[in-house]
A and B are shown apart, each in its own frame.
Chain A
Amino acid sequence: MQIKPILSALRQHKAGTVLIAMQIALTLAIVCNALFIIQQRLAHLSEPSGIDETHLFVVENQWVGKPSPDQLDAQIRADLSALRQLSSVQDASVSNSYPLHGGGWDDGLKLKPDQANATTEAAIYFADEHMLATLGLKLIAGRNFRADEIGHMGIRDALAPPVIVITKALAEKLFPSVDGHANAALGKTVYLMSNRTTIIGIVDQLQSQSVARWAADFAHRSVLVPLRLVSPQGTYYLIQAKPGQLDAAMHAAEPTLLAQSRKRVISDKDGLLSFAEVRAHAYDSDYGMAVLMGIVCVVLLAITAAGIVGLTSFWVGQRRRQIGVRRALGATRRDILSYFMTENLLISSGGALLGVLLAVTMNLWLVIRFEMQHLSLLYVFIGVAILLLLGQCAVLAPAMRAAQVSPVEATRTV
């Protein structure tokens, strides 16, 4: 390898060398962090909700007028009965919210009534005996609600369910067991809004309504309460279609509900949403950020590649005679190609070394300023590999042109 003479020659072209190395370093620092952010966002948006989303859809039902709580409860039960009778529907339930919705109820759970601070926050979902089947939740311990346990609750009533079903993540938080089994929570008493309640069932997973970072600590700590919400504002019907019949069920749902009563509004815009749409809405900022970071990476890499092509082409043009002399002195075309490839590899390696330091520094700043996670070294290695490979690809065309320079160029006087 001719590393020493290449380094000697580069010392005579400090400005170009330093500029391109700096560009590589900056690109590496940004690309590493951007790739890390992309990975985090993609991991976030592909986080499992714990529910069977494929054939699930949601109807946001707003009531018209001022019906009494009893009238509303009767209407809801009639609606659910009509929906469940549709041939394309597997099951249906009703709730105050649903996973990934963004808005809903969170409450603290305590182990003792006089406990000053809650042991944990948890998402509260209203549910009837059909909810587990509708959402496709997996019951891992205990039992589901019975029909006779389901009550109804007004918006201003106290939340005091006698029994609850909770998620495994919440069970483990409330009653950590040595052997890691969530069953330890089964039959235990906890306090929800200072009201005593008993855990009768544990489901494997059920994500909270919010996908925001502030809710990440209790993202899978959820409580199902055996209640129907009779709020004059409205309610959410969750409907599980039969396999392959999602479209048919979604088309049939609104006319079926309107046939039960016309005193309701189902918005044309977002009154009827498949769960795929719910997921897309929930994570659109994550997706947008991942796309934006991806575009930033591609643009930066393209600019860096263009810089390498430009500088190498300039150097090849400037050194035509020198290349001719090298050829006259015995260099093969392969030697010339190797010279420029090695030269680029040296510059890129220098830039990459500086870039690694910059990437880590930039990440530390992001950690302090935006509470980001620490950059995994894997992303630094991936970034270095991408930059070195890009450099070699970018330099290939000008290096091949250089290799075509004839040895007779050495005798040209102009």
Chain B
Amino acid sequence: MLKMTHLSKVYRTEVVETYALRDFNIDVKEGEFVAVTGPSGSGKTTFLTIAGLLETFTGGEYHLDGVEVSHLNDNARSKIRNEKIGFIFQAFNLIPDLNVFDNVEVPLRYRGMKSAERKKRIMESLERVGLASRAKHYPAELSGGQQQRVAIARALAGSPRLLLADEPTGNLDTQMARSVLELLEEIHREGATIVMVTHDPELAARAQRNVHVIDGQVVDLAEDPRFHAHVAQVAEATHGR
């Protein structure tokens, strides 16, 4: 479903080159629930933005659903984002000027879907996340958890092949985070491919498979001393609270 081979992303200025990703390799099979973990600045969000075709990469190859994407133009990339990828962002990224119904409708409109079909899909998605009764509410009238559920409904409404989640519970309290996570697990059980970026080991543990990123590279957790150092750091921080 998602395969990156020797992929690199370099940010260049006049005086310095910074590698956000270096020789990055990952292969996510269809139907997998993969958690991408790593410390802040490790490159996991860069990985997600490239995986979601939100930005381009510098070198290597990236196959999404069998298509090599490096040569696609902006319109083709928009089309793939719209039809094959569903995004769930940490900050929910709902459009504040639109109500819940209209927010979920956004990607469907860009697909050119007919009104009746849009309405059917929107209501199905909202029912699935338990917010059909809030269709006319504006984001500001919802709790954080509800907003994230709307974002998930928006991601699901287009029936994407791949769901990309960037710290989906990062802005939620424990109870809301649990309910969102349960929803993602349910979606996965129904056959969706999910790639979730998180720095939370507890959350990552709920995924089928963990991929750890450090300094822009995927590392083998058993062999990399940096992973053990990171785990110790997290444990210390957790006990210290």
Interface residues of A (CB under 8 A from B): 2, 4-5, 8-9, 12-13, 321-322, 325-335, 406-408, 410-411, 413
Closest to B50 in A: A408
Q: What residues of chain A lie closer than 8 Å to B106, measured between beta carbons?
A: 5, 326, 329
B55 A332 Cβ-Cβ under 8 A? no
B55 A406 Cβ-Cβ under 8 A? yes
B95 A325 Cβ-Cβ under 8 A? yes
Closest to B166 in A: A411
B33 within 8 A of A: no
Q: What residues of chain A lie closer than 8 Å to B79, measured between beta carbons?
A: 330, 332
CB within 8 Å: A-B pair count:
86
Subset of 27 A-B contacts with CB under 8 Å: A5-B102, A5-B105, A13-B97, A321-B93, A322-B96, A325-B93, A329-B87, A329-B154, A330-B79, A330-B81, A330-B83, A330-B107, A330-B110, A331-B110, A332-B74, A332-B78, A332-B110, A334-B75, A335-B110, A406-B54, A408-B54, A408-B55, A410-B89, A410-B93, A411-B48, A411-B49, A411-B89
Q: What residues of chain A lie closer than 8 Å to B53, measured between beta carbons?
A: 407
B81 A407 Cβ-Cβ under 8 A? yes
- The distance from the CB of B232 to the nearest CB of chain A, in whole angstroms, is 27
B91 A413 Cβ-Cβ under 8 A? yes
Q: Is the interface of A mostly helix, strand, loop or mixed?
A: helix
A248–B105 Cα distance when bound, in Å, is 81
Q: Interface range on chain B: under 10, 10 to 19, 20 to 34, or 35 or more?
A: 20 to 34
Q: What residues of chain B lie closer than 8 Å to A332, measured between beta carbons?
A: 74-75, 78-79, 110
B45 within 8 A of A: yes
Task: List 4 A-B pairs, minimum CB-CB distance, nearest first.
Answer: A330-B82, A9-B97, A330-B110, A329-B107
Q: What residues of chain B lie closer than 8 Å to A322, measured between beta carbons?
A: 95-97
Closest to A331 in B: B110
A5 B55 Cβ-Cβ under 8 A? no
B102 A329 Cβ-Cβ under 8 A? no
A325–B105 Cα distance when bound, in Å, is 13
A8 B91 Cβ-Cβ under 8 A? no
A326–B166 Cα distance when bound, in Å, is 17
Closest to B74 in A: A333
Which chain B residues numbered 94 to 125 have a C-beta less than 8 Å away from chain A?
95-99, 102, 105-107, 109-111
- The distance from the CB of B122 to the nearest CB of chain A, in whole angstroms, is 12
A328 B52 Cβ-Cβ under 8 A? yes
Which chain B residues numbered 120 to 136 have a C-beta less than 8 Å away from chain A?
none
Q: List 18 extra interface pairs beyond A5-B105, A407-B53, CB under 8 A.
A: A5-B109, A8-B97, A9-B97, A322-B96, A325-B89, A325-B93, A330-B78, A330-B107, A332-B75, A335-B78, A406-B54, A406-B55, A407-B55, A407-B81, A408-B54, A410-B87, A411-B54, A413-B90
- The distance from the CB of B27 to the nearest CB of chain A, in whole angstroms, is 23
Closest to B52 in A: A328
A411–B165 Cα distance when bound, in Å, is 11
Q: What residues of chain A lie closer than 8 Å to B54, measured between beta carbons?
A: 327-328, 406-408, 410-411
A197–B74 Cα distance when bound, in Å, is 89
Q: What residues of chain A lie closer than 8 Å to B109, measured between beta carbons?
A: 2, 5
Known: A5-B109, A9-B98, A410-B87. A327 touches B78 (CB 8 A): yes
B110 A12 Cβ-Cβ under 8 A? no
Question: Beta-carbon contacts of B18-52 to A below 8 Å, as 1s and 0s?
Answer: 00000000000000000000000000010011001
Q: What residues of chain A lie closer than 8 Å to B99, measured between beta carbons?
A: 8
A328–B48 Cα distance when bound, in Å, is 12
Q: What residues of chain B lie closer than 8 Å to A335, measured between beta carbons?
A: 78, 110
A328 B81 Cβ-Cβ under 8 A? yes
- The distance from the CB of B33 to the nearest CB of chain A, in whole angstroms, is 21
A13–B105 Cα distance when bound, in Å, is 20
Question: Beta-carbon contacts of B48-88 to A below 8 Å, as 1s and 0s?
Answer: 11001111000000000000000000110011011100010
Q: Which of B90, B95, B99, B106 has the most CB of A within 10 A?
A: B95
Q: What residues of chain A lie closer than 8 Å to B158, measured between beta carbons?
A: 330
B102 A8 Cβ-Cβ under 8 A? yes
Q: What residues of chain A lie closer than 8 Å to B87, measured between beta carbons?
A: 328-329, 410
- The distance from the CB of B197 to the nearest CB of chain A, in whole angstroms, is 10
A12 B48 Cβ-Cβ under 8 A? no
Q: What residues of chain A lie closer than 8 Å to B111, measured between beta carbons?
A: 330
Q: What residues of chain B lie closer than 8 Å to A334, measured between beta carbons?
A: 75
Closest to A407 in B: B54
- The distance from the CB of B190 to the nearest CB of chain A, in whole angstroms, is 22
Closest to B55 in A: A408
A12–B96 Cα distance when bound, in Å, is 9
Closest to B45 in A: A411
Closest to B86 in A: A329
B97 A329 Cβ-Cβ under 8 A? no
Q: What residues of chain B lie closer than 8 Å to A331, measured between beta carbons?
A: 78, 82, 110
